[in-house]
C-alpha cells in the first residue's frame, strides 16, 4: 500500500506541476502584448486646452539669461543649454526639465529637420543587430539590442498615440532557413523578456500569401512573423519638445549656436552665441552646462569648443522611398534580411502609404556643402536629398520580393528622402554598416557634454545618461536635480488619449472617420485643442483636406503656426503633417495654400512668399515629386500661384481634363486613369501602326478587332509616331523630348525587351497601353512643373 501511495503522490505531483506550468504559461501568453491605455469616459471629452508660449517669449527668455543688468546669481541663467532639437536633444530637454532644472534648447533649423524625421520609423531592438551579436559574438551589439528592447516598451507607453505595435514578416525561400529565422526571432522575444510585445510565430506558405498577397510566391516555403514598434518620428520629436516646454523648458527652432563663450581664467564654457534665423540678429545665452546633441553635426560643435579635436562621428546616409498603399497590406510589414549586397530592406505600411528602405552608405558632409559666401555655411537637413542610384537600388530590391506580375516603377515613387546616421567612428576607414549603433557620452576640456550616436528607440536612455553626466560635471546642479522621471512621464497629447478617442471626435465635429483617426493618431488628446481652435464658416470647412486623398486638413496649417512653432512651409508639409513624406507631389500641390495661410498669418510680403515657395518647391522636387524631377524641371520663378490658378494653367497647356485629374480630384496616382472612350482611340491607333505577329501583313490592312490585335505587334520605333497621332485625336502626347521618351519606355519595361537577331523589337496592344499610362504620369508632372514655373513670374506681382 505504501509504495502505491508513493506512486500516486508522485503522479499527482507531476500532474500538478505540469498543469500549474501550463496555466502559468497560458496566463502569460494571454496577457502578453503592449498595455494599451484604458478607454475611459475622460477620453470622450476635451481635456483642458493647452497652448505653449509663443516663439517671441522663448527668445526673450534666452536673451534674459545673459542680460548684464542681472547679477551672477540671477535665476534667469540656465542650468543646461541643449544644442540640437532632434530626437536626442529633445529627449535631453524633457529629461532635464522634468528633473526640475532650468533648461534651454536651441535648434538651428526646424525641430526634427535632421535625421530624426527621416528614419525607418521603427521602435525596435533590431533583429539584424541581434544576428551580428550572435554570429560575430559581438557583446556591444548584444547590449544595444537588450537596451533597445527595454526602451521599446517605455517608448510605446509614454507616447501611445504616436506609436504602435507592428507585425513584420520575414519571407523564407529555403527550407534550411526555417529553423534559422524561427530561432532568431524566438531569441529576440526572449531577450525582450517581460518587455516583449507579442511572440513571434511561423506561418505556412499559404497563410503568408493570404496575409501578404503581393509577395513573390515562387520558391516561398513559409514565413516567420515577429513584432516591433512603429512611430511617427517628426511628430514624436515635436511631442518631446512640447513636453519639455510644458515642464518649464525654453525651446526654440531656427536659432543656431555660432560660437561658444568661455571663462578666460578657467577655460570652461559659460554659454553660447546664438543666431536667430527668423528675426535676424545674434545674442548670448548663459548656461552652467552645454549639452551637444547635434547628431551628424557633433564634430562641428566640438570644433568650436576644441579646434584640435579628433572627429568622433561618421555620417552614413540611409534612403527611403514612399510607394502607394496598394503595394503592401495595411497591418503587416516585411523585412528582406538578405538583399543583393547583404544589407536589409524594410517594406512597411506607414501613414496610409508604404515606405521601403534603407541604404547604408558613407556620406561626406563637407563635400555636399553648397558654395556660399558666408563662412558659417552648413548643410541643411532639407538639403540632404537621395541620390538616384540609391532610389533605384531600393526599387530593385523591392521588385525582387514582390510577385512577378507587380512591377514597381520609378514613377510609383511618391517621395524619397535621405537621412544621415550619426555613427560613432571606430577610427577605421571603409563602410559604415559594420559600425555599432550605440552611443557615447563624453565631456571635453571646456566642460561641454556631448551625446552622439544611438537610435531613435534609445533616445530616452541616452538623454538620461547625458543629464546624469551634466549633473556630474556641474556639482551645483546636484542639489537641485531630482531623479530621472522619464520612464513614466507621458508626452503631451497622451493624457486622456485612448485608441477610441477618434469616435468622440467624429461625434462632436462630424469628421470623416479617416480624418478623425489621423488627427487622433497625430495629435493625441491635443486634437481636441486643434479642433476647437478653428471655426467653421458656412463657406469653408476648416477640416477640408489639404490634398485629397490624404487625410491632412487645412486646420493643421494654422494649428502648426499657433501651437507648434512652424515657421516655414516645409515645417508644415514635412514635419507637422507628413504629406511630403507620403506623397511629395501632393505636397507640391498643397504648397500654394500653405504659403498663402502662412504669409497671411506671419505677415510675409510678396517677395518673401515667393522665396519661401521657391525653397519649398526645390526640396519637394528633390524628394522626387513626380518621380523624375531631372526631366522637364526648369528653374523656379519668383512668384507663386494659388492652386486653382495652377490647375487652370496646366489645363490650358494640355487642353485635356484627364491629365489634370491627378492634381485636382480624389486620385493622386495617374497611371490607372483613362478617359471614357480613350482605350478605343488607342486601339484604333494601334491598329494603324501594328502588323500581324510574325512579320507578315500590316496593321493598316487589318480590321482593328480585338482578337486580331492580340496577335498584332507594333515596332517600338513606331510608338512615338503612334502616340503623336493620338495627340491629333485630342489627347496630349505631343512635345515629348527624346530623353523623356527613352525614360518612358524604361518605365513601361520596354527598354529591356530582348532584341532578336536583326529583328526590330515590337510591342502588343497591352504594352502600348502601358506606354500610354507612363506618358501620362510623366507628362502631367513635367508639365505641371513647367506650368508652375512659367506662371510664377506673372503671379503675385504687386
Ligand X SMILES: Cc1cc2nc3c(=O)[nH]c(=O)nc-3n(C[C@H](O)[C@H](O)[C@H](O)COP(=O)(O)OP(=O)(O)OC[C@H]3O[C@@H](n4cnc5c(N)ncnc54)[C@H](O)[C@@H]3O)c2cc1C
Q: Which residue, 379 or 546, has its beta carbon nearer to ligand X?
A: 379
- Kind of pairing between the strands at 361-362 and 415-424: unpaired
* CB of 124 vs ligand X, minimal distance in Å: 6
Q: Does 386 bind ligand X (CB under 6 A)?
A: no
Beta bridge partners of 169: 225, 334
* Locus of grid cell 496575409: 211
Q: Which residue, 505 or 616, has its beta carbon nearer to ligand X?
A: 616
Provide the terminal-to-terminal Cα distance of the chain, rounded to the nearest Å. Answer: 110
Q: Which residue, 433 or 556, has its beta carbon nearer to ligand X?
A: 433
- Residue pair 208/61 in contact (Cβ under 8 Å)? The answer is no
Which of 87, 623, 656, 736 binds ligand X (CB under 6 A)? It is 87
Element (H, E) at 133: helix 127-135
* CB of 381 vs ligand X, minimal distance in Å: 6
Q: Which residue, 152 or 518, has its beta carbon nearer to ligand X?
A: 152
* Locus of grid cell 483613362: 674
Q: Does 455 bind ligand X (CB under 6 A)?
A: yes
Element (H, E) at 727: helix 716-728
Q: Which long-range contacts (CB under 8 A, 24 or more apart) does 477-480 make?
A: 477/79, 477/80, 477/101, 477/288, 477/289, 480/79, 480/100, 480/101
Reported in sequence order, the residue ranges of 71-221 that DSSP labels E, i.e. its strands, are: 78-83, 103-106, 122-123, 163-172, 201-204
Which of 37, 77, 103, 109 binds ligand X (CB under 6 A)? It is 109
Which of 77, 119, 200, 636 binds ligand X (CB under 6 A)? It is 119
Q: Which residue, 297 or 552, has its beta carbon nearer to ligand X?
A: 297
Which of 196, 358, 415, 779 binds ligand X (CB under 6 A)? It is 358
Q: Which residue, 169 or 257, has its beta carbon nearer to ligand X?
A: 257
Site string for ligand X, 37-76 (x = CB under 6 A): ----------------------------------------
DSSP assigned state of 500: T
Helices (H), 274-424: 298-305, 365-368, 388-401
Beta bridge partners of 315: 422
Q: Which stretch binds ligand X (CB under 6 A): 296-304, 325-333, 484-492, 735-743?
A: 296-304
Q: Which residue, 256 or 599, has its beta carbon nearer to ligand X?
A: 256
Q: Which stretch binds ligand X (CB under 6 A): 117-125, 218-226, 425-433, 519-527?
A: 117-125
Q: Which residue, 358 or 425, has its beta carbon nearer to ligand X?
A: 358
Q: Which residue, 78 or 182, has its beta carbon nearer to ligand X?
A: 78
Q: Does 292 bind ligand X (CB under 6 A)?
A: no
Nearest to 360 by CA among 455, 270, 434: 434
- Residue pair 342/434 in contact (Cβ under 8 Å)? The answer is no
C-alpha to C-alpha distance for 766 and 770, rounded to whole angstroms: 6
Q: Which residue, 259 or 485, has its beta carbon nearer to ligand X?
A: 259
Q: Which residue, 453 or 639, has its beta carbon nearer to ligand X?
A: 453
Q: Does 329 bind ligand X (CB under 6 A)?
A: no
190's CB contacts (< 8 A; 6+ apart) are: none
DSSP assigned state of 629: T
Which of 419, 504, 624, 626 binds ligand X (CB under 6 A)? It is 419
* CB of 374 vs ligand X, minimal distance in Å: 14
Q: Which stretch binds ligand X (CB under 6 A): 78-86, 463-471, 496-504, 519-527?
A: 78-86
3-state helix/strand/coil string of 233-289:
HHHHHHHHHHHHHHCCCEEECCEEEEEEEECCCCCCEEEEEEEECCCCCEEEEEEEE
Q: What is the Rg, in whole angstroms, of the alpha carbon atoms belonging to the chain? A: 29
Helix axes 584-602, 555-563, angle to 10 degrees: 60
Q: Which stretch binds ligand X (CB under 6 A): 293-301, 333-341, 648-656, 712-720?
A: 293-301
Three-state DSSP at 224 gives strand
Which of 324, 333, 422, 624 binds ligand X (CB under 6 A)? It is 422
Helices (H), 362-452: 365-368, 388-401
344's CB contacts (< 8 A; 6+ apart) are: 128, 335, 336, 337, 338
Which of 129, 212, 297, 733 binds ligand X (CB under 6 A)? It is 297
Q: Does 89 bind ligand X (CB under 6 A)?
A: yes
| Dihedral of the alpha carbons of 344, 423, 419, 363, in degrees to the nearest 10 | -100
* CB of 191 vs ligand X, minimal distance in Å: 16
- Kind of pairing between the strands at 345-350 and 353-357: antiparallel
Which of 98, 252, 294, 773 binds ligand X (CB under 6 A)? It is 294
* CB of 174 vs ligand X, minimal distance in Å: 27
* CB of 378 vs ligand X, minimal distance in Å: 7
Q: Which stretch binds ligand X (CB under 6 A): 196-204, 449-457, 499-507, 590-598?
A: 449-457
Site string for ligand X, 214-253 (x = CB under 6 A): ----------------------------------------
Helices (H), 583-642: 584-602, 606-622
Q: Which stretch binds ligand X (CB under 6 A): 92-100, 417-425, 529-537, 741-749?
A: 417-425
Helices (H), 364-458: 365-368, 388-401
Q: Does 333 bind ligand X (CB under 6 A)?
A: no
Largest separation between any pair of C-alpha atoms in the chain = 110
Q: Does 125 bind ligand X (CB under 6 A)?
A: no
Beta bridge partners of 545: 553
Q: Does 629 bind ligand X (CB under 6 A)?
A: no
Q: Does 257 bind ligand X (CB under 6 A)?
A: yes
Q: Please count the residues of this chain forming the interface with ligand X, following the rule CB under 6 A.
A: 40
- Residue pair 427/440 in contact (Cβ under 8 Å)? The answer is no
Q: Does 271 bind ligand X (CB under 6 A)?
A: no
Q: Does 457 bind ligand X (CB under 6 A)?
A: yes
Q: Does 301 bind ligand X (CB under 6 A)?
A: yes
Q: Does 456 bind ligand X (CB under 6 A)?
A: yes
Q: What nine digits make up the cell of 16?
A: 500538478
Backbone angles phi, psi at 147, to 5 degrees: -65, -45
DSSP assigned state of 524: T
Three-state DSSP at 140 gives helix
72's CB contacts (< 8 A; 6+ apart) are: none
Q: Does 102 bind ligand X (CB under 6 A)?
A: no
DSSP assigned state of 402: B
Distance, CA of 331 to chain centre: 18
Element (H, E) at 689: helix 678-689
* CB of 185 vs ligand X, minimal distance in Å: 18
Which of 65, 77, 88, 243 binds ligand X (CB under 6 A)? It is 88
Which of 104, 239, 290, 293 binds ligand X (CB under 6 A)? It is 293
Q: Which residue, 293 or 584, has its beta carbon nearer to ligand X?
A: 293
Q: Which stretch binds ligand X (CB under 6 A): 108-116, 279-287, 490-498, 701-709?
A: 108-116
C-alpha to C-alpha distance for 52 and 745, rounded to whole angstroms: 53
Q: Does 578 bind ligand X (CB under 6 A)?
A: no
Q: Which stretch binds ligand X (CB under 6 A): 84-92, 689-697, 700-708, 730-738?
A: 84-92
Q: Which residues in this chain contact ligand X in the complex, by CB under 6 A?
A: 83-89, 106-109, 113-116, 118-122, 124, 256-257, 293-297, 301, 318, 358, 381, 419-422, 454-457
Amino acid at each position: 500500500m505504501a509504495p502505491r501511495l508513493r506512486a500516486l503522490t508522485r503522479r499527482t505531483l507531476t500532474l500538478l506541476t505540469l498543469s500549474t506550468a501550463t496555466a502559468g504559461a497560458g496566463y502569460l501568453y494571454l496577457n502578453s502584448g503592449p498595455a494599451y491605455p484604458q478607454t475611459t469616459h475622460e477620453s470622450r471629452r476635451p481635456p483642458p486646452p493647452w497652448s505653449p508660449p509663443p516663439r517671441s517669449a522663448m527668445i526673450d527668455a534666452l536673451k534674459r539669461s545673459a542680460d548684464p543688468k542681472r547679477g551672477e546669481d540671477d535665476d534667469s541663467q540656465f542650468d543646461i543649454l541643449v544644442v540640437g532639437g532632434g530626437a536626442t536633444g529633445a529627449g535631453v530637454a524633457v529629461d532635464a526639465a522634468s528633473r526640475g532644472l532650468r533648461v534651454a534648447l536651441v535648434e538651428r533649423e526646424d525641430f526634427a529637420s535632421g535625421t530624426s524625421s527621416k528614419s525607418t520609423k521603427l521602435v525596435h531592438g533590431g533583429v539584424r543587430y541581434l544576428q551580428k551579436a550572435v554570429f560575430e559574438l559581438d557583446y556591444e551589439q548584444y547590449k544595444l539590442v537588450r537596451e533597445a528592447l527595454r526602451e521599446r516598451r517605455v517608448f510605446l507607453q509614454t507616447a501611445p498615440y504616436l506609436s504602435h505595435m507592428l507585425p513584420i514578416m520575414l519571407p523564407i525561400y529555403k527550407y534550411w532557413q526555417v529553423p534559422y529565422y524561427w530561432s532568431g526571432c524566438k531569441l529576440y522575444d526572449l531577450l525582450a523578456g517581460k518587455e516583449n510585445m507579442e511572440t513571434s510565430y511561423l506561418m505556412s506558405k499559404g497563410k503568408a500569401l493570404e496575409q501578404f498577397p503581393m509577395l513573390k510566391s515562387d520558391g516561398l516555403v513559409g514565413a516567420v512573423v515577429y513584432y516591433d514598434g512603429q512611430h511617427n518620428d517628426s511628430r514624436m520629436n515635436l511631442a518631446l519638445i512640447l513636453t519639455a516646454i510644458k515642464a518649464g523648458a525654453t525651446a526654440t527652432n531656427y536659432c543656431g549656436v555660432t560660437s561658444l563663450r568661455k571663462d578666460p581664467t578657467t577655460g570652461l564654457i559659460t554659454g553660447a552665441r546664438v543666431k536667430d534665423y527668423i528675426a535676424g540678429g545674434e545674442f548670448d545665452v548663459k548656461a552652467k552646462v552645454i549639452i551637444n546633441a547635434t547628431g551628424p553635426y557633433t564634430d562641428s560643435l566640438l570644433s568650436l569648443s576644441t579646434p584640435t579635436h579628433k572627429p568622433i562621428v561618421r555620417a552614413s546616409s540611409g534612403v527611403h522611398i514612399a510607394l502607394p498603399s496598394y503595394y503592401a497590406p495595411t497591418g503587416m510589414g516585411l523585412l528582406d534580411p538578405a538583399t543583393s549586397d547583404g544589407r536589409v530592406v524594410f517594406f512597411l505600411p506607414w501613414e496610409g502609404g508604404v515606405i521601403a528602405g534603407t541604404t547604408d552608405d558613407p556620406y561626406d558632409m563637407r563635400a555636399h556643402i553648397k558654395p556660399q559666401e558666408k563662412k558659417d555655411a552648413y548643410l541643411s537637413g532639407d538639403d540632404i536629398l537621395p541620390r538616384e542610384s540609391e532610389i533605384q537600388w531600393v526599387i530593385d530590391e523591392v521588385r525582387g520580393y514582390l510577385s512577378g506580375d507587380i512591377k514597381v516603377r520609378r514613377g510609383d515613387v511618391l517621395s524619397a528622402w535621405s537621412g544621415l546616421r550619426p555613427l560613432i567612428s571606430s577610427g577605421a576607414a571603409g563602410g559604415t554598416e559594420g559600425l555599432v549603433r550605440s552611443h557615447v557620452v563624453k565631456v571635453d576640456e571646456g566642460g561641454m557634454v556631448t551625446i552622439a550616436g544611438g537610435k531613435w528607440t534609445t533616445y530616452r536612455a541616452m538623454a538620461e545618461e547625458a543629464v546624469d553626466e551634466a549633473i556630474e560635471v556641474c556639482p551645483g546642479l546636484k542639489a537641485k536635480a531630482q531623479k530621472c522621471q522619464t520612464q513614466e512621464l507621458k508626452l503631451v497629447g497622451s493624457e486622456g488619449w485612448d485608441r477610441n478617442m477618434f469616435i468622440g471626435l467624429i461625434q462632436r465635429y462630424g469628421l470623416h472617420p479617416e480624418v478623425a483617426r489621423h488627427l487622433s493618431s497625430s495629435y493625441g488628446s491635443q486634437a481636441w485643442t486643434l479642433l476647437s481652435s478653428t471655426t467653421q464658416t458656412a463657406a469653408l470647412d476648416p477640416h477640408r483636406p489639404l490634398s485629397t486623398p490624404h487625410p491632412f486638413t487645412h486646420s493643421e496649417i494654422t494649428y502648426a503656426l499657433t501651437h507648434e512653432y512652424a515657421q516655414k512651409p516645409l515645417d508644415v508639409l514635412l514635419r507637422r503633417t507628413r504629406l511630403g513624406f507620403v506623397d511629395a507631389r501632393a505636397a507640391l500641390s498643397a504648397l500654394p495654400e500653405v504659403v498663402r495661410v502662412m504669409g497671411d498669418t506671419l505677415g510675409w510680403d510678396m517677395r518673401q512668399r515667393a522665396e519661401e515657395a521657391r525653397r519649398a518647391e526645390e526640396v519637394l522636387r528633390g524628394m522626387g515629386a513626380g518621380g523624375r524631377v531631372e526631366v522637364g524641371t526648369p528653374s523656379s520663378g519668383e512668384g507663386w500661384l494659388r492652386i486653382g490658378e495652377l490647375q487652370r494653367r496646366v489645363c490650358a497647356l494640355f487642353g485635356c481634363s484627364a491629365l489634370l485629374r491627378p492634381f485636382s480630384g480624389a486620385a493622386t496616382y495617374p497611371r490607372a486613369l483613362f478617359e471614357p472612350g480613350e482605350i478605343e482611340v488607342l486601339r484604333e491607333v494601334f491598329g494603324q501602326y501594328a502588323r500581324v505577329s510574325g512579320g507578315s501583313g500590316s496593321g493598316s490592312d487589318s480590321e482593328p478587332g480585338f482578337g486580331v490585335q492580340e496577335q498584332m505587334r507594333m515596332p517600338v520605333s513606331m510608338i512615338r509616331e503612334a502616340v503623336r497621332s493620338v495627340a491629333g485625336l485630342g489627347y496630349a502626347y505631343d512635345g515629348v523630348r527624346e530623353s523623356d521618351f527613352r525614360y518612358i519606355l524604361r518605365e513601361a519595361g520596354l527598354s529591356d525587351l530582348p532584341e532578336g537577331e536583326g529583328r526590330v523589337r515590337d510591342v502588343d496592344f497591352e504594352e502600348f497601353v502601358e506606354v500610354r499610362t507612363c506618358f501620362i504620369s510623366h507628362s502631367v508632372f513635367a508639365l505641371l512643373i513647367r506650368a508652375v514655373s512659367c506662371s510664377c513670374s506673372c503671379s503675385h506681382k504687386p
